[in-house]
Amino acid sequence: MLPSMTTFDLLLPEDTLRHPDSAKWKFYPDDVLPLWVADMDFAVAPAILAALQERLTRGLGYAPFEVEATPLAPLLREKLATQGLADLPTGGLRTLPGVVPGLYAAVAGLSSPGDEILTMTPIYPPFLGSIRDQGRTLRAVPLLQQEDGWQIDWDALEAAVSPATRVLMLCHPHNPTGRVWTTEELKRLGEFVLRHRLWVISDELHADLSFGGPHVAFASVHPELLQRTVTLTGPCKTYNTAGLGIGAMISHNVALLDRITALTRGVQGHPSALSITMWIAALEGGAEWLAAVLAQLRSNRDHLSARLRQELPWVRFSPPEATYLALLDFRQHPRSADIQQFLLTEAKVGLNDGPPFGEGYQGFVRLNFATSPELLDEAINRIVRAVTQSE
Ligand SMILES: Cc1ncc(COP(=O)(O)O)c(C=O)c1O
């Protein structure tokens, strides 16, 4: 039985965060505030910490080889059912060493070299890597940047399909725009997919980090989509556990998962015992911690939005509906051609640069606001000072 925790500190001090074992905090020099890679500057959830400590007292041998033989399977099935993915068949749920391995494996399993794959840009860069690195042809469909936020360009999507198109890769919620696709948009995408007989790889890793209502899985909006979709998920964005590497692929079409598994057998490895223990503990006891995280993220998002609107109104920005990532459009700045480097050297803030998210995103940067209000404010101060001094 895990101890019940009612209070905990979410925010870690800067000197704890700035440790050589943190990619986020060690990538840039010590005078830089790193608001880039998607890790949160928050302490481990008490339920996870307790479960990991307890697991270590019993050694570190292999965990059961089949996820169905662990308590993780029923917990995940229960959770997926709340997102519309009820009644997963036996074999419809498989663990992965992470979601990126799942993106690559699913591309390998659902297409052949030379096939075309659609995705909507800007997009989390490994989507593009999983297509290009495996000799598939990228059909990038840019989202429309409108006053009411980032929108799907339905005409461009239709125009991008050819007889060689096999797969749509969807990110829902969407990294880096923070869009949560509405049920209407998902249904329209579903009709598009069924009309063109595409497979879908739907990365729903950020599902728990929505500031709106409960997550609706893409595959759930039409019964036929359950047979055409592989959904990818994992605990790492929700519970800030990327260092423990685990994910899952899910489909009602077990033959699809068999095909993917067969193609990547031996190179996928097995999830670590600690990662399985962590995910179980998160699902069983992480709710209170997650509620605190979401409250902090919402407050940070609103603060960032208010300050940008007030102090840098020319920076185009649509507050994200999910995730802790903010895509900022600095194309009106004189240094837009190297804006990430400019903000790094002049503001001492480390952000993700736009171009890896797709062609046409020079002048954009992605800011990770999952940090303390103090560090977020300091980063905004530095950015505002640097860009106003250079005006
Ligand atoms: C949409 C999306 N997919 C996958 C990943 C990475 O997942 P993993 O670390 O499990 O490979 C991220 C990380 O930020 C992400 O934002």
| Entry field: residues in the chain | 391
177 with 143: CB under 8 angstroms? Answer: yes
Cβ(205) to ligand 1 under 6 A?
A: yes
391 Cα: distance to centroid of ligand 1 (angstroms): 36
User: What is the pLDDT, as a whole number, of residue 389?
Assistant: 85
Provide mean pLDDT across the span 99-121: 97
> Beta partners for 141?
120
Taking the CA of residue 206 as reference, the ligand 1 atom at the shortest distance is 1
Number of Cβ within a 10 Å radius of residue 264: 18
Taking the CA of residue 325 as reference, the ligand 1 atom at the shortest distance is 16
233 with 204: CB under 8 angstroms? Answer: yes
CATH class of 14-46+287-389: alpha beta
- pLDDT value at 6 more than 90: no
**What residue type is assigned to position 37 of the chain?**
V
231 Cα: distance to centroid of ligand 1 (angstroms): 13
User: What is the pLDDT, as a whole number, of residue 390?
Assistant: 65
175 Cα: distance to centroid of ligand 1 (angstroms): 9
Q: Whose CA is nearest to atom 13 of ligand 1?
A: 38
Q: Cβ contacts of residue 128 below 8 Å, gap of 6+? A: 119, 121, 138, 140, 356, 358
Taking the CA of residue 171 as reference, the ligand 1 atom at the shortest distance is 1
Q: Whose CA is nearest to atom 7 of ligand 1?
A: 99
Distance from the Cα of residue 385 to its chain's centroid = 30
- pLDDT value at 167 more than 70: yes
What is the overall mean pLDDT for the chain? Answer: 96
Question: Does residue 3 or residue 262 have the better pLDDT?
Answer: 262
The DSSP 8-state label assigned to residue 322 in this structure reads B
Give per-residue pLDDT as tens, 134-148. Answer: 999 999 999 999 999
Annotation: CATH topology of 62-285: Aspartate Aminotransferase; domain 2 (3.40.640)
130 Cα: distance to centroid of ligand 1 (angstroms): 13
* Domain coordinates in residue numbering, the chain: 14-46+287-389, 62-285
Question: If DSSP codes are grouped into helix, strand and coil, which group holds residue 257?
Answer: helix
Taking the CA of residue 96 as reference, the ligand 1 atom at the shortest distance is 10
296 Cα: distance to centroid of ligand 1 (angstroms): 21
User: What is the pLDDT, as a whole number, of residue 125?
Assistant: 98
Taking the CA of residue 246 as reference, the ligand 1 atom at the shortest distance is 10
Report the candidate in 249, 214, 231 with the shortest Cα–Cα distance to residue 169. 231
Question: Does residue 269 or residue 77 have the better pLDDT?
Answer: 77
211 Cα: distance to centroid of ligand 1 (angstroms): 19
328 with 75: CB under 8 angstroms? Answer: no
232 Cα: distance to centroid of ligand 1 (angstroms): 10
Cβ(124) to ligand 1 under 6 A?
A: yes
Radius of gyration of the chain (CA): 21
User: What is the pLDDT, as a whole number, of residue 213?
Assistant: 87
Provide mean pLDDT across the span 206-213: 96
φ, ψ of residue 181 to 5 degrees: the values are -65, 130
Provide mean pLDDT across the span 230-234: 98
Cβ(246) to ligand 1 under 6 A?
A: no
- pLDDT value at 391 more than 80: no
Determine the residue of 35, 40, 175 to mutate for testing ligand 1's pocket, defined as the one with the most ligand atoms within 8 A of the Cβ atom: 175
- pLDDT value at 3 more than 70: no
Question: If DSSP codes are grouped into helix, strand and coil, which group holds residue 237?
Answer: helix
User: What is the pLDDT, as a whole number, of residue 42?
Assistant: 97
196 with 76: CB under 8 angstroms? Answer: no
In a 13 Å sphere around the CA of 126, the CA atoms on its Cβ side amount to 15
CA 42 to each of CA 25, 26, 34, 131, 322: distance values in angstroms, whole numbers, following the listed order: 13, 16, 14, 33, 17
User: What is the pLDDT, as a whole number, of residue 4?
Assistant: 44
Number of Cβ within a 10 Å radius of residue 166: 20
Determine the residue of 237, 241, 279 to mutate for testing ligand 1's pocket, defined as the one with the most ligand atoms within 8 A of the Cβ atom: 237
Taking the CA of residue 100 as reference, the ligand 1 atom at the shortest distance is 11
User: What is the pLDDT, as a whole number, of residue 1?
Assistant: 39
- pLDDT value at 5 more than 70: no
User: What is the pLDDT, as a whole number, of residue 208?
Assistant: 98
- pLDDT value at 259 more than 90: yes
Cβ(41) to ligand 1 under 6 A?
A: no
CA quadruple 252, 258, 259, 263: dihedral positive or negative?
A: positive
Task: Give the residue carrying structure tokens 């890790």.
Answer: 39
